[in-house]
Amino acid sequence: MKKRILITGATGFVGFHLIEAALSSGLHVFANVRSSSKVEHLQSLNINFVELDFESIYALSKNIDENKYDYVVHAAAVTKAKNLDEYNKYNASYARNLAIAVSNATHKVEKFVFVSSLAALGPLKKTNELLNENGVLNPVTYYGKSKALAETYLSNIQNLPLLIFRPTAVYGPRERDILMVLKAISRGFEVYMGDANQKLSFIYVKDLAEIMISSLKSSLVNKTYNVSDGHIYGRSSFSESARRIMRKRTLRVTVPLPLIKGIAWSMEKAYKFTNKMPTLNIDKVNELTGINWSCDIKLIKKDLGFSPRYQLQQGLEETIKWYKSNKWL
């Protein structure tokens, strides 16, 4: 009998790659999707679709008992919301409800994996340090605050076989925010926010998905891991790699940070009476202008034998190739 895994956020960027990694590991995949979700890109995969009611712990526990999941990976989250309350509802309260349901269900789940974010820690202000798992949570965005709250909720639930992963900036096929940067470079523009030096980190989505799926077979619980490819990059490393791969020459434009924040504030006001949030918002500016996002991955290497297969250059090559072949770029 194949082990059963529930993956939430299945239609999202990371969720899709989690499904692929789970299938490659021989797992029977149940993908949580909303009735309004676009699932065309999942239709060819040998998976089962389920729709969960995250408002009801009872309904969630019932679903767990009916489908008898061996593993639950909670990747569902919102990255754009109107205010902190909305972020907390979707990213923290829903995670708590699912975790309580796992804890309360008659059927015992072997592992509950929560996809958090390095944003829960927040960037360092000093450039001579590394973010580590034991650092004080100091998020600078609403998104990061909601993920930090979710971690707190989950850590206090008894009998939960919990593993938390905090990926840094995730890139790869199907990611749309970084695609915007690549489109600008392909058109000959390289845009920077402010002129401060930065230390950045990245993780290729396939490396992230594979380590989370492989962790399910470990005996470890109640552990938190930061995830990056183990390298530290400068603020221009991403664009330089992309330029080389696409063989582009660019005009480098540095926009003063006060101007960027003013534009972001204005866009948020313009979107106030819509159901959407602009791609450029104050939260995104605070995240992208953090001075030091470099992180220590010694713990995940030690505990789980994590050995990233992709560094930025290799990951971008594969990503750009996918974007081009699928007419995204």
- The pLDDT score that the predictor gives to residue 130 is 95
Contact 212, 113 (CB under 8 A): yes
Summarised one tens digit per residue, pLDDT across range 31-83 is: 999 877 788 889 899 999 999 999 999 999 999 999 999 999 999 999 988 89
Distance CA 112, CA 293 (A): 26
User: DSSP 3-state assignment of 122?
Assistant: coil
User: Which residue reads 């009611």 in tokens?
Assistant: 53
- The pLDDT score that the predictor gives to residue 215 is 98
Domain architecture of the chain: domains with CATH: 4-170+203-230+292-311 (3.40.50.720)
| pTM reported for the whole predicted model | 0.94
Burial 18-36 (b: 16+ CB within 10 A, else e): bbbbbbebebbbbbbbeee
Summarised one tens digit per residue, pLDDT across range 164-207 is: 999 999 999 999 989 999 999 999 999 898 888 999 999 999 99
10-residue mean pLDDT profile of the chain (329 residues): values are 95 96 97 86 92 96 97 95 94 98 96 98 92 93 97 96 97 93 93 90 98 97 97 94 94 90 87 79 87 96 97 97 95
